[in-house]
Structure 1
Amino acid sequence: MKNFASLYTQLDQTTKTNAKVSALAQYFEQSNQEDQLWTVAILSHRRPKRTVNSTLLRTWAAEMADIPSWLFEESYHVVGDLSEAIALTLPRPQVENSHSLTYWIEYIMSLDKLEEAEKKERIFAAWQSMDYTERLVFNKLITGGFRIGVSQKLMVRALSQYTGIDENILAHRLMGNWTPTETSFKSLILTKDPLEDISKPYPFYLAYALENEPENLGAPAEWLAERKWDGIRGQLIVRKEELFVWSRGEELVTDKFPEYHPLAKLLPDGTVIDGEILPYKEGRPLTFNDLQTRIGRKNVTKSILKKAPVIMMAYDLLEWQGEDIRHYPFQERRRRLEQMVANHDTKGLLLLSETLDFHSWADLVVERENSREHHSEGLMLKRKDSPYQAGRKKGDWWKWKIDPLTIDAVMIYAQRGHGRRANLFTDFTFAVWDGDALVPFAKAYSGLTDKEFREITSWVRRNTRERFGPVHSVEPTFVFEIAFEGIRASSRHKSGVALRFPRISRWRKDKPLREANTLEDLKEMLSAL
């Protein structure tokens, strides 16, 4: 554990990519294969599940530190991170340990079936044998909150340095439904020809947001353009007459979308399609809100299938007749995809994402402005000769999203942030006018500068009317422009609407309070979409 805790400190203390890769590669060099495997799992979001709830940990930390609960809670609110607050509060360790990362993860997993008293005893024993950094890492693992500024891409780069294996090969080996309790570092990473896993997807190729004018991309003739569909990115795999559907988040979702199951017989063997899981009915896409009715449900009922059926909107072909064709130019992959769709009757379950006909960038400006009419988020621009790469690479694929919807709203509640912003008020609740009353409709916590957050924090401290735990009710004074991607009706919210991805766009210091938007304005937006 000491090696892993040291790695955590090194990664946390630098923002330099090369330094992080070097620290990881050195760690892999010095660690045993069990710890290597768990480190790969942790950094690819395969952490052990939470076995002790945070309320118990807070109570036990206060007890072990011999301080009242209110004092620990105040300390926690100042620090902003529960794992760090516990590590800082606990007394010095009474014994030392030399246990490995794997030992402590198995220790954490073993707590799951224990009674509360036994859990407490084992947590105390662990805390008493660890220094500050080990406690911090242990706490983050046990709460399921282990996050650090290392992407899977950086971890793969470090693995490549350590093993000498190409990054793309490693990225592919790490895809799929593997767990560290059912495999080994050798079989997952080092085996040249591992046992074939017919369900294994390819790493997704991710586009960068286009923030400059499209003219900077060069000649329009070098590019293909299509709609950016508002669904869930997915890969549809048919191998050995079996079907597998993966989301971009590496979740196997085959059972959640039974509509696709007939494609196992309708598509040729050895086919992998990149596309969009899209709600689609009566010849047109539905909204993402319709798709949300199916996300997270364990059982897909007939009524849900009827209300929000899905199709696969295909836009790339990654494997054809069992051959990996990702290195082919996009135009060639696209040609083969078009042929496959034309030659196989998929009963309307697989549709081709049409490319747009354009001769100038000005033509695409018009298409982009009309995106909402097509229930799309904007446009995708793909260089015709581009291979299908792994991860986010700049240059060949761009997403050109439409401008967000905006509304002016009044801040009515404020709450402190977490981490480095624990002493600042950064989380806000906003309201719009309904007659003479302010009705809350959204929460947002991003979009302002640190300087603006400090200014608001100073003001909140002077203008708090009431406190509800960590939430401060403030005098309605300031108007902010709130940007969001979509809006839907919601019976769960007092306003009757819910926004998609709300964030602060700007502080409207120029705008009087009464000129903020109204609930009627929000409902008009809803009816217009």
Structure 2
Amino acid sequence: MKDFASLYAELDETTKTGEKVDALARYFAAADPADAAWAVHFLSGRRPKRLVGARKLAAWAMEAADVPEWLFAECYDSVGDLAETISLLLPPSGSSTDLPLRHWVEERLLPLRGEDEAGQRREIQQAWAELDGPQAYVWNKLITGSFRVGVSQSLVVRALARVSGVDEAAVAHRMMGAWDPNPDFYARLLEMDTRDTDLSRPYPFFLAYALEGELESLGDAREWQAEWKWDGIRSQVIRRGGSTFIWSRGEELITERFPELAHAAALLPDGTVLDGEIMPWRDGPLPFAQLQRRIGRKVLGPKILAEVPVVLLAYDLLEVDGVDVREQPQAWRRSRLEELVRVTPSAGRILLSPVVAAADWDDVLQAHRDARARLAEGLMLKRADAAYGVGRRKGAWWKWKVEPFTVDAVLIYAQRGHGRRASLYTDYTFGVWKEGELVPFAKAYSGLTDAEIRKVDSFVRRNTTQKFGPVRTVKPELVFELAFEGIQRSPRHKSGVAVRFPRMLRWRTDKKPEDADSLDTIFSLLESAAAQASGD
């Protein structure tokens, strides 16, 4: 636990990728396998659900620190993070633990789930008495389920590859899917023999950066494959050992959520892995909001299955007859994929994502202009000779999204962010005009510089008019230009519309609140999007 807390502090104190990888590599090189397995678990973004409610934890911390509720609330409001607030208020324990991380997770943390309230209180306060400040901070982070330290899974993979000498792609593959954080898993993670395979395990997804520069900078258009970029759920469909597995890019096994795709995939040859997009589809793509209707349901009845049918738009082939073909050129994989889809009787559930017929970059440019009418987000550009890589890489794949919809809206609510932004007001709700009043329209938290965030934070603190739990109502004075990818009618929202991927493009210091857009403007965008989709 002492070493893991030191690692957390070291990672939290730097924003440099190289320094983070160095710190991770040093830790993994020295850690006991049982501790290292749990470190991989937490650092790669996997964490237990919150084991104790926030109110209970705060009450027990106030008792241990002997502080009144009003003072705790003021401290929490200043710090913005529950785990950090508690660790700062607790009196020095005078102790420090030498027990391993495995002990604190398996024998102290996870058993809390089965304890009654009195038992949880006793165990947590006892832990605080045994841990020093940095250790208690990490412990609190684990209890609250808010363990974040600015490390991505790809950085963990890089560190493990450096320590073990195993290729990054092999390490990343072993970390995909479901696994238990134990010494045996950690040993397999670092095993030099990379012939191992897990029947259900997906491959790491290949990701693309946004297109940089002009199309002509990519060279000859005939050396590239252009295809539509769809707005669905990026997935891998796996058929191995007579079984079917469907994984999302978020490493969630979603086979049961899409029974029609599982049934269709059962007709694929054994030893096949497809990469593609799960899309709501009825004679063509449906808005993503339709797919959300299925995602949010625990039980998929016949009605919703009929109302929102789905397909897999397949655009890559990763495994053939049980052989990994990711190193084959893009053109080779596409040719084999076309043949596979042609001969597989999938009842129209597995479709080939069409490529754009383009003789030159002018053809590609015209296709990009037509993307929104096809309910596509834009285009993907893939080198014909490119292998299927691991993670986000530049050069082989580029994504070229259409220009977003934009509106000017007024900041009306704010609340604190998370992680490094826990002490700042960074999560905002924006309103547009309707009959002389501002109605909530969209939430956004990205797009501003650090300097702008600090200025908005200062404004929120000086201009709060009401408080509702963590939410602050502010004077409607600041105007921002918002961008979003899609727009859909939604009776669940007060404005009557829902938008996709809202973010802030810029702070419109040149505009007054009365210059912001109205709900009529939003509905005109909605009508325009509908007209484009219908081909009018």
Fold-level match, TM-score > 0.5? yes
Cα distance change of structure 1 residues 51 and 456 upon mapping to structure 2, 3 Å threshold: closer
Give the letter aligned to residue 371 of structure 2: S
Could you tell me which amino acid in structure 2 is paired with residue 245 of structure 1?
A: I
Structure 2: which 5+ runs fail to align? Answer: 530-536
In structure 2, the CA distance between the partners of 1:434 and 1:51, relative to structure 1 (3 Å rule), is: same
What residue number does 1:276 align with? 277
Matching of residues 36-435 of structure 1 within 5 Å: 36-106=36-106, 107-180=108-181, 184-190=185-191, 192=193, 196-281=197-282, 283-422=283-422, 424-435=424-435
**Structure 1 pair 319/7, CA: closer, same or farther in 2 (3 Å)?**
same
Deviation at residue 369 of structure 1 after TM alignment: 1.9
Partner SS for 2:47: coil
Give secondary structure in 2 for the equivalent of 1:428.
Answer: strand
> Could you tell me how far apart the structure 1 residues matched to 2:197 and 2:424 are?
52
3-state SS of 2:382 partner: strand
TM-superposed CA distance for 1:94, in Å, is 4.1
Q: Label 1:183 to 1:46 Cα distance change in 2 as closer, same or farther (>3 A).
A: farther
- Please give the alpha-carbon distance, in whole angstroms, between the structure 2 residues aligned to 1:5 and 1:346: 51
Asked if 2 retains the 8 angstrom alpha-carbon contact of 1:279 and 1:311, the reply is: yes
Cα offset for 1:348?
0.6
Would you say the 8 A contact 2:417–2:427 is kept in 1?
Answer: yes
1:264–1:220 CA distance, 2 compared to 1 (3 A): closer
Report the CA distance shift for 1:371/1:511 in structure 2 as closer, same or farther (over 3 A): same
| Structure-2 change in CA distance of 1:109 and 1:191 (3 Å) | farther
Q: Deviations over 1:165-202 (max 9, x none)?
A: 11111111111221226953224442737875211111
Contact 2:246 2:262 in 1 (8 A): no
C-alpha contact (below 8 Å) 1:209/1:398 kept by paired residues: yes
CA contact (8 A) 2:329 2:387 kept: yes
For 2:428 and 2:78, the matched residues in 1 are separated by 18
Deviations 1:214-237 (A, max 9, x none): 222222121100000110000011
Distance in 2, matches of 1:438 and 1:18, equals 46
Looking at structure 1, the residues matched to 223 and 239 of structure 2 have their Cα atoms a distance apart, in angstroms, of: 32
> Displacement of 1:463 after TM fit?
3.6
Distance 1:49 1:453, change over 3 A: closer
- The 2-side partners of 1:262 and 1:379 are apart by 30
Deviations 1:277-323 (A, max 9, x none): 11111x20111111111114222111111111111100000001111
Query: 1:128 aligns to what SS in structure 2?
Result: helix
User: What is the Cα deviation at residue 12 of structure 1?
Assistant: 1.4
Given that 2:34 and 2:182 are in contact with CA atoms closer than 8 Å, whether structure 1 keeps it comes out as: no
Name the CA shift for 1:366/1:193 in 2 (closer, same or farther; >3 Å).
closer
> What is the aligned-residue identity percentage?
53
1:466-488, Cα deviation, whole Å (9 max, x unpaired): 34344333332232211112222
In structure 1, stretches of 5+ residues that fail to align are none
1:128, 1:218 → 2: CA distance?
Answer: 64
Q: Do the aligned residues in 1 keep the contact of 2:317 with 2:336 (CA within 8 Å)?
A: yes
Equivalent pair of 1:46/1:179 in contact (CA under 8 Å): no
Count of residue correspondences: 528
Q: Which amino acid aligns with 2:231?
A: D
Structure 2 CA distance, aligned partners of 1:479 and 1:188? 50
Q: Residue 241 of structure 1 contacts residue 264 of structure 1 at CA under 8 Å; is this kept in 2?
A: no
AA aligned opposite 2:494:
K
Conserved 8 A contact 2:97-2:132:
no
Amino acid in structure 1 at the alignment position of 2:527: S
Work out the CA distance in 1 between the residues paired with 2:75 and 2:66: 14
SS of corresponding position for 2:140: helix
Amino acid at match of 2:407: I
Cα distance in structure 2, aligned partners of 1:196 and 1:20: 29
Contact 1:49 1:109 in 2 (8 A): no
Contact 1:188 1:194 in 2 (8 A): no
Shift of 1:383: 0.5
SS at match of 2:387: coil
Change in CA separation of 1:412 and 1:149 when aligned onto 2, cut-off 3 Å: closer
In the TM superposition, residue 27 of structure 1 has moved relative to its aligned partner by 1.0
* Deviating more after overlay: 353-362 vs 419-428: 419-428
Query: CA distance change for structure 1 residues 261 and 464 in 2, over 3 Å: closer, same or farther?
Result: closer
Q: 1:444 offset after TM fit, Å?
A: 2.0
Deviation at 1:327, TM superposition (A): 0.5
* 1:512 Cα offset (Å): 3.6
Q: Tell me, yes or no, if the aligned pair for 2:148 and 2:419 is still in contact at 8 Å.
A: no
- Measure the CA separation in 2 of the matches of 1:337 and 1:163: 35
Q: Deviations over 1:29-72 (max 9, x none)?
A: 21111011111111222222321122211111111111111211
Q: 1:32 to 1:514 in 2, by over 3 A?
A: same
Mapping of residues 412-491 of structure 1, within 5 Å: 412-422=412-422, 424-491=424-491
Counterpart secondary structure, 2:476: coil
Say whether the 8 Å CA contact 2:239–2:245 is kept in structure 1.
yes
TM-score of the aligned structures, taking structure 1 as reference length: 0.95
Q: Is the 1:317–1:333 contact (alpha carbons within 8 Å) kept by the matching residues of 2?
A: yes
The residue identity in structure 1 corresponding to 2:313 is M
| 1:172 alignment partner, SS class | helix
Q: Is the 8 A contact 1:77 1:422 kept in 2?
A: no
Q: Secondary structure at the match of 1:284?
A: coil
CA distance in 1, matches of 2:495, 2:385: 49
Deviation at 1:427, TM superposition (A): 2.8
Q: TM-score, normalised on structure 2?
A: 0.94
Query: In the TM superposition, what is the alpha-carbon distance from 1:442 to its structure 2 partner?
Result: 1.7
Amino acid in structure 2 at the alignment position of 1:109: L
Query: What is the deviation of 1:145?
Result: 0.9
Structure 2 letter corresponding to 1:150 = V
User: For residues 96 and 210 of structure 1, what CA distance do their matches in structure 2 show?
Assistant: 51
Query: Are the structure 2 counterparts of residues 296 and 194 from structure 1 closer, same or farther at C-alpha, using a change threshold of 3 Å?
Result: farther
1:81 Cα deviation (Å)?
Answer: 1.7
Any idea what SS the aligned residue of 1:273 has?
strand
Partner SS for 2:377: strand
Q: Deviations over 1:427-463 (max 9, x none)?
A: 3322111122221222222222233333334444444
What amino acid does structure 2 have at the position aligned with 1:62? M
Distance in 2 separating the partners of 1:294 and 1:28: 41
Judged with a 3 Å threshold, the aligned counterparts in structure 2 of structure 1 residues 262 and 73 are, in CA distance, closer, same or farther, namely: same
